[in-house]
Amino acid sequence: MVLGFAALIAVGTIALMMPFSTESGKPTDLLPALFTATSAVCVTGLIVLDTPVHFSAAGEVIILVLIQLGGLGIMTVASLLSLVMFRRFGLRMRLTAQAETKALGLGEVRRTVFRVIGLSLLFELVVAALLTARLIAGYELGLGRAIYEGVFHAVSAFNNAGFALRSDNMMSFATDPFFLLPICLAVIAGGLGFPVWVEIFRHLRVSRRWTMHAKVTLLATALLLGVGAVGITAAEWTNPGTLGPMPWPGKLVAGFSSGVMPRTAGFNILDVAAFHPGTLLLQDILMFIGGGSAGTAGGIKVTTFALLAYVILAEIRGEPTVHVMGRQLPGAVQRQALTIVLLGVACVMLTVLILLVITPFGLDQVLFEAVSAFATVGLSTGITAQLPPFGQVLLVLLMFIGRLGPITLASALALRERGRRYELPEERPIVG
């Protein structure tokens, strides 16, 4: 998987360096092309070049293809890995002969891949149609241009990429609910993940049959969306640089949409550079948590965050085991969640430390940029293009690690789990 995504980034970089990919007809330098290709494949949205100004229609289509392939690749591979882990651990518990194979049949792989592609295209098609209609009716765009922008933004939204065909990203649509709400729905749908949608479609009327994963993902997503929307709207309500000048209906639309975007979508609805420091910190937290597993969103994932919250709650209550949604949480899963979170914090903090040393920017800006890259969000305070080349290379590596790291690490930890034939004597160190 890692080599496959690296190869796709390499091909995308070469394509974006070609003269036909730019409006000026001049080749793009290696580092900006690499940064853009990585941001597209890792469905991040951070940019060092103004997409609609620098790139030609051919360049924009290349970016769109990279976004689509990157999003589909993440959903497909993550879904297959989830299926492998379910097959291994589920059948082991049943003690059937089939458990010894621990492999997926070719037909099962094919069905999973086709379902992921079909689900993605369905959501993208519906959102593209809604956006196209709005661009024609509300902004008087021609049919061809409206379809082009509608498809581009639908694909970018569902894949949580954050690329847009306007220099101000989505700021010109900040108070338009007919444009932003379909975008938000696509962002949320892509961020939930394929396994959750499968369960919703299968057991729509019988939610008690949903697995712990689906329940935790939906509950945590709803709570974090509420916290983000209410928190950002309240904090920025009177800010003259963001929501302050808008009428109250527009404030509600822009505030809600800005609360959805840290789910790792990365569309700029408001001027992020004008946010209060408290709002930036809230967005840092929401971005780092991210979206659902086996979806297009990044971050450590809402399930990881929610499971650790249950672990803390059980420890506070003094309970010997952790119970989640009527099920006991295995100790191995708790260790895996803790490992992913701490390694994610280490990657972000190391990047922040280096950027603080090599750039003149403050902690708020640098932390926001690093978290946005690791969580593959794409929101920025506007410093991305001003970073030195080494700083941009760091963000490229962080985007790649943030996109593939949690998936590969979680799968490796789960599939490498093995029993131990002995235990050492127990001893309790002083904690706290």
- Which pLDDT value is given to residue 4? 86
Cβ-based neighbours of 67, under 8 Å, separated by 6 or more: 40, 41, 43, 155, 156, 159, 161, 163
Task: Give the torsion sign (CA, 367, 373, 376, 379).
Answer: positive
Find out whether 55 and 22 touch, Cβ atoms under 8 Å: yes
DSSP state of 21: G
Using the 8-state DSSP alphabet, how is residue 319 labeled?
-
Q: How far apart are CA 251 and CA 155, in angstroms?
A: 26
CA–CA–CA angle 37, 84, 88 (5° rounding)? 155
The predicted structure's pLDDT at residue 177: 96
Q: What is the pLDDT of residue 280?
A: 96
Contact 281, 241 (CB under 8 A): no
Q: Which tens digit of pLDDT belongs to each residue from 40-92?
A: 999 999 999 999 999 999 999 999 999 999 888 887 777 777 666 655 544 44
Cβ neighbours for 261, distance < 8 A, ≥ 6 positions apart: 162, 187, 267, 268, 269, 377, 379
Over its length of 432 residues, how does the chain's per-residue pLDDT go in tens digits? 788 889 999 999 999 999 999 999 999 999 999 999 999 999 999 999 999 999 999 999 999 999 999 888 887 777 777 666 655 544 443 333 333 333 445 566 677 778 888 889 999 999 999 999 999 999 989 999 999 999 999 999 999 999 999 999 999 999 999 999 999 999 999 999 888 888 888 877 777 778 888 899 999 999 999 999 999 999 999 999 999 999 999 999 999 999 999 988 889 999 999 999 999 999 999 999 999 887 888 899 999 999 999 999 999 999 999 999 888 998 888 888 898 899 999 999 999 999 999 999 999 999 999 999 999 999 999 999 999 999 999 999 999 998 887 777 777 766 666 677 778 888 888 877
Nearest residue to 108 (alpha-carbon basis) of 89, 128, 86 = 86
List CB contacts of 400: < 8 A, sequence separation 6 or more.
Answer: 5, 6, 9, 38, 42
